[in-house]
């Protein structure tokens, strides 16, 4: 397990980078975020999710929040997506231009 950091501050625990599509985020999961390399995601039955698009330097380029049962197709040539439970990014204070780190 790794940690997702912003400016040296731990935002959440996270899984390593996955190329598999994400179908849901389990409620009460000890994993706070998931890192995914994908162009298309579908949250079947999830309660919703926050999704951040990162560039190759892991700088936040776009932030979105999605409800349950919504398909997500990224518009950018994203290097990586950060996916967390809906509302997590607001709690973390995540904003465009933030540089994220995984340790």
pLDDT digits (tens, 9 = 90+) for 38-92: 666 655 555 778 888 898 899 999 898 877 766 666 665 556 888 888 889 999 9
**Residues 60 and 53: beta-carbon distance below 8 Å:** yes
Question: What fold, for 2-102?
Answer: Jelly Rolls (2.60.120)
What pLDDT was estimated at residue 97?
96
H or E element at residue 71: strand 71-73
Domain range list for the chain: 2-102
Decide if pLDDT at 23 tops 50: no
pTM score, two decimals?
A: 0.78
**CA atoms of 86 and 47, how far apart (whole Å):** 7
Residue position matching structure tokens 């197709």: 73
What residues pair up with 53 in beta bridges, in sequence order?
62, 81
């Amino acid at each position: 397990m790794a940690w997702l950091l912003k400016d040296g501050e731990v935002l959440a625990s996270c899984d390593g980078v996955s190329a598999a599509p994400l179908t849901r985020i389990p409620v009460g999961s000890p994993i706070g975020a998931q890192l995914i390399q994908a162009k298309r995601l579908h949250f079947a039955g999830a309660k919703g999710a926050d999704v951040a698009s990162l560039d190759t330097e892991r700088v936040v380029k776009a932030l979105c929040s999605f409800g349950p049962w919504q398909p997500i197709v990224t518009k950018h040539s994203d290097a990586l997506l950060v996916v967390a439970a809906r509302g997590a990014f607001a709690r973390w204070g995540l904003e465009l231009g933030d540089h994220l780190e995984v340790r």
